[in-house]
Amino acid sequence: MKILVYIDNRKNKIKKTDQELVYYAHLIAQKHGGSVDAFVLGSGEGAEVLGKYGADNVYAVAHDETFDANGISSAVKNFAEDKGADLVIVPFNSSGKPLVGMLSYMLDASSVTGVLNVPEVEESKLVFKKGVFSGKAFAYIKTLKDKVVVSLMTNSFSPEEVGSEVNVEAVNIPVDNKVKVVGIDKVEGKVPLPEAERIVSGGRGMKGPENWGVLLDLAKALDAETACSRPVADVGWRPHSEHVGQTGIVVRPNLYVALGISGAIQHLAGVSSSKVIVVINKDPEAPFFKAADYGVVGDLFEVAPKLTEAINKFKGK
Amino acid sequence: MNLLVCISKTPDTTARIAFKDDFTKFDEGGVQFIMNPFDEFYSLVRAIELKEKFGGTVTVLNVGEPANDIVIRKALAIGADKAVRINTSPTSAFAVAKQIAEYAKDKSFDIIFFGKETIDYNGGEVSGMVAAMLDLPFVNLASHLEVDGTTAKLNRDIEGGVEKVEVEMPFIVSTAKGMAEQRIPNMRGIMMAKRKPLEVVEPVDKEDRVEILKYELPKAKSGVKLVDPDNIDELVRLLHEEAKVI
């Protein structure tokens, strides 16, 4: 099987999510036989490292930031055909999400978004697992075409070093932009919630935006990102970009700490794939406790500062 | 402006999800169905706002069975002018995209709207498939859309920022939070919806490129371990030694 991994390297930086994509491709090649080509959109600076995570070849296409999803999909399509790729893997983020549907049609391929597993083979077709019903269930999906395009859910595999660096080969691929990218307003310093390893999240129990200090302190102690429940975003205590849940952002961090969130089914759907959930709530009947690994029944305004202090003490701060 | 809004029917966000026939089929028993929230809150409302500003027609399109008409009528009650239902069961993203592309290819729509994904199968693929099938520009995950003459200016929420793009009509957009605010249909809208046209179109040949073999429910948590609020050091110990997350 020839596997092609699309890496968005437009910021000239290889991220952990990029290592994860290549390592995932490596696991598939290891299980079913095959080779892994990394197709890097960008200068290719630093992309040699992808060899360590399992890429047999790394190709970089000369770039500028004005590539849009239409241009990227045409470039990936041309390259995938050139290399005879059977399986194309893209990231499940704002760069990869638009590509899957387009590439499915352009490559005459089956497609699955947000896959979670190294696929099994059934009657010579790949079978992928993905989350459905916004985190309330999983489905096993058989791809019926010979060619397949998938996006990998972020934080599904921990990348490991399995090889050594490889040379980056520059390639020239025609692109067909259809949308003009005028510019990007950057928000510095924040890790996107889907990529976050630790998240501290607040609900209506926080009682008001003026009380967020205790949450921010805890997040800082844990080196965590901050999030909130839908009612909190709806009343404007926190920005919509922090809304985690079925109609907001679905997250899967290693640690999710919920302060004053009762745990409505829509919220649970967005966080249930977290590895460890800690719930702090004064209501012992809060449904969130049933979905939690650890719980503290108590007033969050007393418990959260104590937890912050205990973590700082543990970390020797 | 000639605007098309593609809408899906999904289980209500509060629905408890269950399966039947040895976990091979979704159990619709007792499930309340709604218009997919992303299609309703963002796509449909923004399309209606553009029509109110520039004039034109908002058509809603659903691929589905007659039972979906109740959801389609709601879209008309919110303010769409007319509706089309392609009379086939939506078995996969590709199957749905093919029906939509076939219908839309000769209708000269200026903008075709999709929600960013449905809350049942969470694919988010149909919009891109239709864009490729019709060879139209595609803007995915748009949180803001303004029209100026024949040009549209959009924002996309991307990791670590907002990407600003411009595109000439016609084009295809998938919408995300921020695009518009939810509208609740009023009594007048509900009454008028009953008289608005709902055309039923027969499907073209079906093509599925994936097949769902079985479903699985998440493993239940083994039970919460409660820590005394007066002994928070114990929670830190558990997170470090047992859960190994700090």
Token pair of A140 as six digits: 């096993």
Q: Note the pLDDT tens digit of each residue in B96-126.
A: 999 999 999 999 999 999 999 999 999 999 9
- Closest approach of chain B CAs to the CA of A239, in angstroms? 10
Q: Which residues of A touch B16 (CB under 8 A)?
A: 265
Contact with chain B for residue A293, Cβ under 8 A: yes
B241 within a domain of the structure (yes/no): no
Establish whether the linkage from the previous residue to B170 is cis, with ω within 30° of 0: yes
A176 within a domain of the structure (yes/no): no
A137, B240: Cβ pair inside 8 Å? no
Contact with chain A for residue B17, Cβ under 8 A: yes
A182 within a domain of the structure (yes/no): no
pLDDT at A152 over 80: yes
- Closest approach of chain B CAs to the CA of A256, in angstroms? 10
The mean pLDDT of A161-179, rounded to a whole number, is: 91
Q: What is the mean pLDDT of chain A?
A: 94
pLDDT at A103 over 90: yes
Provide the 8-state DSSP code for A249. B
Integer-rounded Cα Rg, in Å, for chain B is: 21
The percentage of chain B sitting over the pLDDT mark of 90, rounded to a whole number, equals 93
3-state secondary structure chain B: CEEEEECCEEECCCCCCCEECCCCEECCCCCCEEECHHHHHHHHHHHHHHHHHHCCEEEEEEECCHHHHHHHHHHHHHCCCEEEEECCCCCCHHHHHHHHHHHHCCCCCCEEEEECCCCCCCCCCHHHHHHHHHCCCEEEEEEEEEEECCEEEEEEEECCEEEEEEEECCEEEEECCCCCCCCCCCHHHHHHHCCCCEEEECCCCCCCCEEEEEEECCCCCCCCEECCCCCHHHHHHHHHHHCCCC
B229, A306: Cβ pair inside 8 Å? yes
CB-nearest partner of B236 from A102, A103, A311 = A311
Q: What is the mean pLDDT of chain B?
A: 96
CATH number at residue A197: 3.40.50.1220
The mean pLDDT of A113-120, rounded to a whole number, is: 97
Tell me how far apart the alpha carbons of residues A301 and A292 are, in angstroms, rounded to a whole number.
20
Considering the domain architecture, whether residues A12 and A139 belong to the same structural domain is answered as yes
Contact with chain B for residue A314, Cβ under 8 A: yes
Q: What's the order of all strands across the beta sheet hosting A294-297?
A: A225-228, A198-202, A255-259, A276-281, A294-297, B225-226
Answer for the pair B194, B79: CB distance below 8 angstroms, yes or no.
no
What total of structural domains would you count in chain A? 2
pLDDT at A273 over 90: no
Considering the domain architecture, whether residues A104 and A36 belong to the same structural domain is answered as yes
For residue A58, the cross-strand partners are: A38, A168
Contact with chain B for residue A290, Cβ under 8 A: yes
Q: Which residues of A touch B167 (CB under 8 A)?
A: 178-180
Please count the other Cβ atoms lying within 10 Å of the Cβ belonging to residue B70: 12
CATH number at residue B7: 3.40.50.620
Q: Is A124 helix (H, G, I), strand (E, B) or coil?
A: coil
pLDDT at A168: 96
Banded model confidence at residue A81, pLDDT cuts 50, 70, 90: very high
Q: Which residues of A touch B174 (CB under 8 A)?
A: 98
Name the residue with tokens 């259809």: A178
**Chain A CA closest to residue B243:** A276
A102, B123: Cβ pair inside 8 Å? no
A252 within a domain of the structure (yes/no): yes
Considering the domain architecture, whether residues A19 and A144 belong to the same structural domain is answered as yes
Q: Is A3 helix (H, G, I), strand (E, B) or coil?
A: strand
Contact with chain A for residue B107, Cβ under 8 A: no
Residue whose C-alpha is closest to residue B179's, from B38, B80, B75, B74: B38
Q: Note the pLDDT tens digit of each residue in A196-213.
A: 999 999 999 999 999 999
A24 within a domain of the structure (yes/no): yes
Considering the domain architecture, whether residues A140 and A214 belong to the same structural domain is answered as no
B113 within a domain of the structure (yes/no): yes
A94, B131: Cβ pair inside 8 Å? no
- Closest approach of chain A CAs to the CA of B76, in angstroms? 23
Residues 128-167 of B with CB under 8 A from A: 128-133, 136-141, 153, 156-167
- Closest approach of chain A CAs to the CA of B187, in angstroms? 25
A140, B156: Cβ pair inside 8 Å? no
Tell me how far apart the alpha carbons of residues B100 and B130 are, in angstroms, rounded to a whole number.
7
How many angstroms from the chain centroid is the CA of residue B159? 21
Token pair of B108 as six digits: 């000269």
| CA angle (B76, B10, B94) in 5-degree steps | 95
CATH number at residue A45: 3.40.50.620
Considering the domain architecture, whether residues A158 and A243 belong to the same structural domain is answered as no
B162, A185: Cβ pair inside 8 Å? yes
- Sequence-distant (6+) residues with CB within 8 A of A156 are A20, A24, A115, A116, A117, A252
Q: Note the pLDDT tens digit of each residue in A22-32.
A: 999 999 999 99
Please count the other Cβ atoms lying within 10 Å of the Cβ belonging to residue B201: 15
Domain span holding position A305: 193-314
Q: Which residues of B touch A73 (CB under 8 A)?
A: 128, 132
Q: Note the pLDDT tens digit of each residue in B69-88.
A: 999 999 999 999 999 999 99
B18 within a domain of the structure (yes/no): yes
Considering the domain architecture, whether residues A159 and A13 belong to the same structural domain is answered as yes
Tell me how far apart the alpha carbons of residues B219 and B199 are, in angstroms, rounded to a whole number.
44
Q: What's the order of all strands across the beta sheet hosting B138-148?
A: A180-186, B161-168, B151-158, B138-148, B171-175, B111-115, B2-6, B57-63, B82-86, B198-201
Banded model confidence at residue A64, pLDDT cuts 50, 70, 90: low
Considering the domain architecture, whether residues A157 and A244 belong to the same structural domain is answered as no
The mean pLDDT of A269-278, rounded to a whole number, is: 93
- Closest approach of chain A CAs to the CA of B233, in angstroms? 6
pLDDT at A241: 86
Domain span holding position B92: 2-218
- Sequence-distant (6+) residues with CB within 8 A of B223 are none
Please count the other Cβ atoms lying within 10 Å of the Cβ belonging to residue B231: 12
Q: Is A12 helix (H, G, I), strand (E, B) or coil?
A: coil
pLDDT at A67: 80
**Chain A CA closest to residue B163:** A184
Considering the domain architecture, whether residues A54 and A104 belong to the same structural domain is answered as yes
pLDDT at A63: 63
A184 within a domain of the structure (yes/no): no
CB-nearest partner of B119 from A246, A276, A306 = A246
CB-nearest partner of A102 from B121, B128, B211 = B128
Q: Which residues of B touch A92 (CB under 8 A)?
A: none
Residue whose C-alpha is closest to residue B139's, from B119, B118, B160, B168: B168
A179, B232: Cβ pair inside 8 Å? no
Tell me how far apart the alpha carbons of residues B146 and B165 are, in angstroms, rounded to a whole number.
11
What total of structural domains would you count in chain B? 1
Considering the domain architecture, whether residues A197 and A300 belong to the same structural domain is answered as yes
Considering the domain architecture, whether residues A292 and A225 belong to the same structural domain is answered as yes
More confident residue, A67 or B44: B44
- Closest approach of chain B CAs to the CA of A43, in angstroms? 20
Contact with chain B for residue A243, Cβ under 8 A: yes
Considering the domain architecture, whether residues A52 and A146 belong to the same structural domain is answered as yes
Answer for the pair B161, B145: CB distance below 8 angstroms, yes or no.
no
Token pair of B65 as six digits: 């069975």
Q: Which residues of B touch A269 (CB under 8 A)?
A: 13
The mean pLDDT of A33-46, rounded to a whole number, is: 93
Q: Note the pLDDT tens digit of each residue in B159-199.
A: 878 999 999 999 999 999 889 999 999 999 999 999 999 99
Tell me how far apart the alpha carbons of residues B205 and B216 are, in angstroms, rounded to a whole number.
31
Contact with chain B for residue A137, Cβ under 8 A: yes
In this prediction, does ipTM exceed 0.90? yes
Considering the domain architecture, whether residues A157 and A253 belong to the same structural domain is answered as no
Answer for the pair A175, A67: CB distance below 8 angstroms, yes or no.
yes
B22 within a domain of the structure (yes/no): yes
B228 within a domain of the structure (yes/no): no
A178 within a domain of the structure (yes/no): no
- Closest approach of chain A CAs to the CA of B136, in angstroms? 8
Tell me how far apart the alpha carbons of residues B224 and A291 are, in angstroms, rounded to a whole number.
7
More confident residue, B108 or B158: B108
Helices in A33-152 by DSSP H: which ranges?
A: 69-83, 97-106
B226 within a domain of the structure (yes/no): no
B246, A314: Cβ pair inside 8 Å? yes
β-bridge pairing A120-122 and A125-132: antiparallel
